[in-house]
Amino acid sequence: MRFLTSKQFDKAYSKLPQKVKIKFKQRRDLFLENEFNPLLDNHPLAGEYGGFRSINITGDFRAIYYRLGGDVMVFVNIGTHSQLYG
């Protein structure tokens, strides 16, 4: 599996605390091994993010992605639950 990031994701990621960046890298590696690992709480989204999915990064931080095709995933945003859905 491969992953890409959007400009929006890159901008949000650059503003994250270092601890969250480290946690994202750990969860990203877990995701690349098994996108449905229970620790990720991978689930589909509705509404504004219909067609996208979300994975858990920390207790409050989430990363939103979609499948581009085949084994390519695109992460489009990352932030707290309230930043993303509020």
Q: Residue 1 — very low, low, confident or very high, per pLDDT cuts 50/70/90?
A: confident
What are the tens digits of pLDDT across the range 19-78?
Answer: 999 999 999 999 999 999 999 999 999 998 999 999 999 999 999 999 999 999 999 999
Does residue 86 register a pLDDT over 90?
no
| Three-state SS at 13 | helix
**Residue 31: predicted pLDDT:** 96
**How many whole angstroms separate alpha carbon 69 and alpha carbon 10?**
21
* Domains delineated in the chain: 2-85 (3.30.2310.20)
**How many whole angstroms separate alpha carbon 32 and alpha carbon 12?**
21
